[in-house]
Every structure is written in C-alpha cells, then in structure tokens.
Chains A and B, each alone.
Chain A
Amino acid sequence: MIAFLLKRLVWGLVVLIAVAVITFFLSRVVPADPAAFLAGQNASEETVQRIRVEHGLDRPLPEQFASYMIGLAKGDLGESIRTRRSVSTDLKQYLPATLELLIVSFVLYLAVSFSLAVLAARRPGGAVDGAIRLITMVGTGIPVFWLGMTLQFFFFYKLHWLPLGARFPIRETAPPVVSGFLLVDSLLAGSLSAFLASLKHLTLPAATIVVNLLAVGTRLSRAALIQEQSRLYVRTARGKGLSPNRILFKHILRNALSPILTATTMQFGYMISWVILVEVIFDWPGIGLYAYQSFQVFDYSPVIALAIVSTAGFVIINLVMDLLYPVIDPRVQSVGS
C-alpha cells in the first residue's frame, strides 16, 4: 500500500516535471517579446533591453530553464510580467475562484449524471432511456464556449434571471475573504443573501461546464450500468426474488462504480480544460482567465503555472481514484498499473 502510494507519487512528480519542461520550452519558442509589452508602446529600445535583462529574458534558453526549474523546486513559479507580481501570489488569489467553480460543477455533475444514468438504466431501451440518450448525445456535441454564450444570452440578456458573469454582485460588498470560496465565506460571515448571490453567479458557468460533462458522463455511466445488468449475478439476484429496484441499487450500482469512477477521472481532465473557456466567457476571475490573459501577451510563467497546477490537480485526482478502487471493488488489490 505504502509502496504503491509512493510509486504513484513519484510518477506524479515525473508527470509534473515533464509538463514543466514541455510547457517551458514550448512557450519560449513563441516569436514574441514580453519585454516589449512590459516596457510599453512608446518605450525606447534601451528601455526594452533593460527590462529583458531585469527579467532574465536575455539569457540563453538553457540558463533560463535551469533557473526556472531551480525556482520551481523551491515552489517559486516565477513572476508574471503582466500582473508584475509573483505567480504564486496571483495563484493564491485566483485559485479559489476556479476551485469553487470546479467543485460546484463537479458535485452537480456527479449528482445529475448519476441520477440520469440510473433513470436510463432502469429500462434500457425505454422512452426515458431514449430521451436521455438523445440529450446526452446532443450534449456531447455542444461546444462549451457556444453554450456559455447562449446561456448568457437567454438567462441574462433576455430573461434577466441570472447575472452576466463575475462571482458576486458588483455593487454589493463581498464577504471578507477567509477561504476564498465565496459560498463558504458568505456563510462564515453569516450572510445568507451573500451565499445566494454567489450561488446565482455560479449557476451559469457551472451549468455550462456541467452540460458537456454530463453528456459524456451520463453516457458512460449508463453504459456501465447497462453492461452490469447483463451480468450473471443479476440473474442470481432475480432468482432470489429481489425487486428490480433493489437489484439496481444494491447490486448493480456498486459494481458499476468502478467504470463510472474511471469515466469520472477522465471527465476531470476535460473539466480542467473547459474551465479556461468558461472563465473567459463569464469573466470568472480564476486561474483559467488569468492564464488566458497572460497567454495573450505571452507572459509565460502563468501559463506554465496553470499547466503545472492543473496537472497536479489531475495527478491528485488520479491518486484519489486509485485509492478508491479497492474500496469500491474488493477484487482490486491496490496494485495500480
């Protein structure tokens, strides 16, 4: 167990280093000059050069790489040229917003996709199943960015039900920052209205992420449930005179969890990707938007940091899932591949 954990951790580290190396070199291939951006549009060439030197952008690539990696080992993610702050400081600022969005979306996704899958799997081939299948299929084809815009159009622009973007009503004062999660902070501040307001702001971005995840996730969960239904132990359960509901909830569900878990892990990867688009569209002040804006001006460090942070998140999720498998399925000795 310990050995397994250790192995996975080492592997996670390898992945992280790889992503750092890859993104570092990729970002330096770009034919753009962030120093020029920093210096401003009317700055003289000397000023630009001075800034290049200040930020070490004039040094040879291997040297820049070495110092970046050394910094990384110390937890230093470099400095953002655009925000003129250390990336770690920025991340501390932006990460909670993203995490809040991700967690809410994920919980929502899990709940809804699971219920839909169960609903569909109760009568495979039935009308409910057909409808769900169609919806999920269409859902997988909806481009996330387009969906976000369309939801904005209807729910903000046409119906005035939900806000356009951002995390909190503009004119109101947000609760004091404790955790960075507005939902939590507003409760800590004892303000139900603030909680509801943050929830309202979360609705569209989360819905946008969820629809796509949901589609893929429900399909996979449904397939897993239906596949389990044809297993022989289900026949045995029927032979014992169990009701279909009991068979579904007590027998099938538990067995279908492993494939669903695998699907879920995969989904998490997509979610990290979609979050960039969603944050851009909804002006959600998280790391996706942060990295995207930095990326627009070829401010490298935040982009690399995003890659590293999201990869780390992904590695952790994978690890958690690996640890969950044996809990769910006693046949799996924790010997992941």
Chain B
Amino acid sequence: GLYFPRKEYSENVYIDQAAGTPLLHIRALRDSHGEVAHFHLCQNLVISRARSHENHWFQIREKNGLLYLSKNLDREDFNMLSVGNWMSLSKVMLYVFLSSHPFQEKECDSATRATVYLSLINATAPACSSLTARQLCFTEMDLSFHIKENKPPGTFHQLQLPSIHHLCQNVSVSYKLLAAEGLPFQYNENTTGVSVTRRLDREERERYELIAKCTVREGFREMQVEVPFLVNVLDEDDSPPFLPNGTNTADAIVEYNRKEGTVLATLTVCDADTTPIYPLESSRKKYTGTIITNDPWINETFRVEHIFHEVHFSPNGSQVRGTLHEYKLVLNKSISVTEHRYFQLDVLVNDTEFPGPERSVMLHFNVSILPVSIQFPNVTYQFTVNRNAGRFAQIGKICIENCMKFYGVNITYKLLSPNVSCYAVGILQGREDKYGSLYVNDSSVLHRPECKEIQYTVQATDRQSRKHAKTLLTIVLEGSLLKNKEGCLDSCAVSKNRAECEECGGLGVLTGRCQWRQGSGKGITTNYSTCTPSIKTCPDGTCDVVESKDLAVCPQDCTSGNIIGGHGKGIGNLGIKSGHGICYCYPRRNCYCEKGDIKEQLCDDVC
C-alpha cells in the first residue's frame, strides 16, 4: 500500500506561534496506480520520558499531508507540553498515519506510520532577518529518503519550508536539484516538489546522491546553500535465482573422508536481490534447498547446508548488493568402509517469495561412494629398542594404508599373542589418533638376556564394519645394560641443568638417560631449555596418548598445574608452550621457568 518516503520528520515550534501556522509537509508514495493518500494524526501526543497527552495543538490536512498548528501555542501550552521533561530541549512526538481511504476513528494502528519530532523552542519565532541562509532553506533534518523499487512515480518531498514560506514573505528562497544526467528525479520550480519520474530498479542502482542547492535573495544580497539529498531504493523480491557460471552439476566423491558433517561438494546460486542476514532463520526459510528423492537411505545419509552472504554486482558502474547462496552437500552420518554406490542426487533450490515461475533452480550432485580397504601397506614391521629404554619409551607408530586420510572411520589397533615370556611392548591410540603408538610397557623385560627379538601380530579392525587386517611386528632389543644410578627420580623433567639431567634415566627415556634440550632466545620463548626423555616427542606442544599415561613422562607437554616464572601455557592451558630460561617440573606439582644464572644464596637468611 501507500508508504512514507521517510520514517521520521522533525521541525521546530516556537512559543506564541499562531494557529494555522504550517509546520511540515509530509508526502506519501503510491504502491500502485490509482491510490489516493489520506493522512491522519492519532489522538495522543507523546511527550518525551513516555508521558502522553491529548493533542489539542496540531492537525494535518487529510488530502495533502500539511501539518499545521491548530491552536496558538502560548506560554501555558508550552509548560503543559514540557512537564517532566528533563531534557534541555523539550520534544514532543506525533504519529502520522496513512491510508488509501478516508479514516474511520478506530483506525490508528494501521501498519504505515511516520513519526514527527517537534522541538518546542522556549522563545518566539526568530525574525526572518535574523535567520541564516541555512535556516531559511533547510531544517536540521538530513534530506535522506527511501523509495520502493517497481512502484509508480510520484512526488516525495517539498524543499520549501512551509513555516518560512508563511512567515518570511519578503525573502526569495529558490531551489535547484543538482544531479547527474539521466537520473529518474525531477524538480518542480513552482511547487518546489521533488518527484521520482519512473519505476526504480534497485538491481540497477540502489542509491542516488544528489545535492539540493538553495538560493536566498533579500534586497541586493544573495546567498547560496547546498546540502546532500540522498535517495535509497528499497528492495523487493523481484529477481529469480540464477546460476552464476551456468554450472548446476558437481561431483561428490566419498572415499577416505566418510565422516558425518563432511562437505562433499558445493554449488552456488546467485540472486540479484538482497537477503538480510537478520533474522537469520527467516532468510534461510525464504531460500530453501531440498533433496528431491524418495530413497530413505539418501535422506538419511545426506543433508544440504545453505549459507549465504552479501555480494556486490556492478551492472553499469554503480555498485548494488546481491546475494550469493551456497548449497553444500554434506554427509549426514558416517559411511561404512564397505559401502559403495554411484547415483545422481538432485537438490531443488526455491526462492519462495519470488512471484514468477522461474523461482526455482535444480542442482545435480554426481555422488560416487568408493569402497576402501583395510590393509597394512607392507608385510612386516620391525623396530629396534634399546635395552635401557624406560617405561613409556615411544617405539614407533603403526597404521594401515592411507590411515592419515581416513575421517569417520574408526580403526582400532591391537597386539595379539606375542611369545609369552617377553611381553615388553604395548600399543595405545589417542581419541583423535589414526594410528597406534607402540611403547615400552614393561622395561624389566628388556633387561632379560633371553629376550632378544619379540614377535607380535598387530590387528587393525574397523569398528563399524568389523573388517580387519593383520601384520607381523618384530621388536629387536639392542645395546648393553647401563649400571643403574642410585636415587634417580622417575621424571627427567625435574633436572635443572645438563649434568643433573644426563646422569639419570626416567620414564620415557629411549637409551637409559634423559636428554638435555639447550634452548636459545631471550625472554619467554618456545625454545626453552629443559630435560626430556626424548627431544623428538617432548616437548612438542602435544600431550600425546603415551605421555598422558603418567604426568612424570612429559609434564612439559601435559601439566595443567601451576607454572611459576615467565611462561605461556599451551592450548587448553595444558603444558608449557613457552618459558623463560630453564623449565623444570616436580611431577604432579608445580613447574618452574627461571633464568639458570641466579646463583643460589647459600646463606639465604642472613644476606
């Protein structure tokens, strides 16, 4: 229906202004030809600070929208309207209603409404001679309008100020509208009305920046004032969806990545209309993407995810906003390794609010679900382990072919029946790990001379399909036993210097002795000095599945306790990501990072 070209209007009202003084000319624009605007004020006047009052002072002409004083505004009226208003400037608020037929009394809450803010100035209207050109030409209100696209032409603003025209008859005020060639706006010198001359197309241009130029002549004096005159074009759903590069088909291949939530393929649909991102759900519901199938398996196994974002088109130099819709074919559940099929999956994209027949576009996904095999790459594995290795020493990793590519496939690794007497090695697997980690489970077995070479069968099993594969694992023990040092602690991390570090072993050591990592760099650095069972795996910023078995193995990666001294904690507040100087830890208690050169005061009390 009819609509206002602005949401808000504002004007000043002065004490002692007489009844009949015109204040403001409000215009309306048509939604369809033949509509006739009827303006109306509802009964109440809202005084700021949410106080309302019967409106005895203002009226609007039903036919042409001229707001005027219907009663003299004397001192008593002014005080009545400013009660309880602590703002330095009193303001009252009126609602102007719009209808395409004459008003019945009760019709105040029609959807179309504009708000008028009237500032009550505690003084009489200034003499015309005292007004600046700016005040004679324009109010403080910015000249910014919005016009709906695809609507009939019409006049949407009058530049001349009714009150000035009424009060300052001997001042000549004339206007011009400065605009580039060919713009759909026209200015009428006689009525000073500005009108839009044809239907606008937002998809062609959504913003017009003109200039309102005013010339004031008083006697021999001539002054000019220019202010911006902006028109925003409001969008409506008048553009159908289309394929940006003509492609409505994509391949969706499922091989190693068979995990729920995996995006298999994406197709994009464009729309020249805007799509507000708020409220999100209603915009999503407006532009649907539905899988067209009656195969329950397909509905169970796939879903379509729709995201959209604003993009800019440049139809002819000016920039207008549009929308790029992305439809992603996503796995709705993990797919078994044994599953394999080939079919075309269709998705119907529907711009539900577009009136025309071309509101929908069909997308096609060529789905190929390939079978994958669970097998070990080579026949046997062999690792050598030093007889002096400590418990939780990490021997190596075992994993089936392409294991790092697998997602959504849960492979578990197990060591089967070694020759009974030398059972020294175990295998572990972190929640997110795709491989098995071999580690020394019982270091005392390594010391037994009869245990030279230990044979295991490793079995990898896919939890979902129960398919499994086996391979042979050989552990060769090497090296001669080192004499065990008395009184060594079980954690390398306790040592504060190289000598202390390398004199003992500890949990996780590979060759019977801890290793000193000499750091470098100033201040707090990731390359801090520390004593570790194995520089290769600790510290490496990850508290892996073997290290997490016992905090004493690698507290540098796994501690969640206090770290005293300059440091930065790792992800999830786990471990020492960076430290100052030397970092050492008392397992299951505090860790410390400090400069190594502060000599311990012997007489620490009396210094």
Q: Do A and B come from one complex?
A: no
Q: Chain A: residues with CB nearer than 8 A to chain B?
A: none
